[in-house]
């Protein structure tokens, strides 16, 4: 989450309230976060020196945060590094902020995202193969039918994502 916050602050300096609204307005489509988790990540970024308070406004002392040089480097390292965790979240969070990177770095980020999605797809294909080999016991056929439908949906989503990122990469 810290890197997503860095990306949002690289777009424009923001307060905690503004960041919560930024999550609600777009980032929540691929990354969910509570206001408390955003606050904790913001505090961690501040403690690590990746962001700084650039102003304190109003009677309540609303703090506006901006990214420091070390924060810019941490963001760039995350963007260009190997995606980890959930494949879709890792890919979409980088895609959302890709325009913040120099053009020469973008194809590498897209390639890594595509490879991470392909790895997730292979994991699901392995599950499908295992189920096909093991079979479904007769007393669980109805349950199995819908579980297999869920698996098919996941595989279809991964196939679409691989095609999407490959197409995007070709246009880079």
113 plus 143 within the same structural domain: yes
Tokens of 114: 């595509």
Q: Please give the pLDDT value at position 60.
A: 77
pLDDT digits (tens, 9 = 90+) for 100-126: 999 999 999 999 999 999 998 998 898
Domain boundary among 50, 80, 110: 80
Q: Is the pLDDT of residue 132 over 80?
A: no
Task: Report d(CA 106, CA 116) in Å as an integer.
Answer: 16
Per residue in 13-25, pLDDT (tens digit) is 999 999 999 888 8
Q: Are residues 72 and 105 in the same domain?
A: no
> Rounded to whole angstroms, how far apart are CA atoms 63 and 55?
6
| pLDDT at position 79 | 96
Distance of CA 144 to the CA centre of its chain: 31
Question: Which residues does 19 contact at the CB level (< 8 Å), separation at least 6?
Answer: 5, 8, 9, 38, 42, 65
CA 7 vs CA 94, 136, 151: distances in Å: 9, 46, 33
Kindly state whether residue 39 falls inside one of the protein's structural domains: yes
CATH code of the domain in which 64 resides = 1.10.10.10
On whether both 67 and 116 belong to a single domain, the answer is: no
Looking at the structure, tell me whether residues 167 and 112 fall in a common domain: yes
Structural tokens at position 131? 């189920």
**Structural domain includes residue 165:** yes
* Residue 50: partners with Cβ closer than 8 Å, 6 or more residues away: 2, 6, 67, 68, 70, 71, 74
**pLDDT-based confidence at 92, cuts 50/70/90?**
very high
Based on the fold, state whether residues 109 and 55 are members of the same structural domain.
no
18/52 same-domain check: yes
pLDDT value at 58 more than 90: no
In a domain, residue 60? The reply is yes
The answer as to whether 93 is a domain residue is no
CA distance 152 to 127: 11
Q: Which domain holds residue 117?
A: 100-171
pLDDT-derived band at 165, boundaries 50, 70, 90 = very high
111 and 70 together in one domain: no
- Single residue among 20, 46, 80 that ends a domain in this structure: 80
pLDDT tens track for 134-150: 777 788 778 878 888 88
Task: Please give the C-alpha separations between residue 23 and each of 37, 64, 91, 149, in angstroms, as whole numbers.
Answer: 12, 16, 17, 31
Q: What was the pLDDT predicted at 113?
A: 92
The answer to whether residue 131 sits within a structural domain is yes
Residues 65, 135, single domain; the answer is no
Instruction: Report yes or no on 104 lying in a domain.
Output: yes
User: Is the Cβ–Cβ distance between 113 and 94 less than 8 Å?
Assistant: yes
The total number of structural domains that make up the chain: 2
Rounded Cα gap, residues 5 and 153, in angstroms: 31
Question: Is residue 91 in some structural domain?
Answer: no
């Amino acid at each position: 989450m810290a890197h997503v916050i860095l990306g949002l602050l690289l777009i424009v300096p923001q307060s905690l309230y503004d960041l919560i609204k930024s999550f609600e307005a777009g980032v929540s489509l691929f990354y969910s976060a509570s206001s408390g988790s955003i606050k904790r990540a913001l505090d961690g970024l501040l403690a690590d020196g990746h962001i700084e308070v650039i102003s304190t406004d109003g009677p309540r002392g609303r703090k506006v945060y901006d990214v420091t040089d070390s924060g810019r480097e941490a963001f760039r390292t995350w963007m260009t590094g190997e995606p980890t965790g959930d494949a879709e979240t890792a890919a979409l969070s980088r895609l959302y902020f890709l325009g913040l990177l120099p053009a020469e770095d973008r194809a590498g980020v897209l390639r890594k995202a595509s490879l991470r999605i392909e790895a997730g797809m292979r994991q699901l294909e392995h599950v499908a193969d295992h189920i096909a080999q093991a079979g479904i016991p007769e007393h669980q056929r109805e349950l199995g039918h819908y579980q297999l439908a869920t698996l098919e949906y996941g595989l279809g989503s991964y196939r679409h994502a691989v095609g999407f990122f490959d197409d995007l990469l070709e246009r880079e």
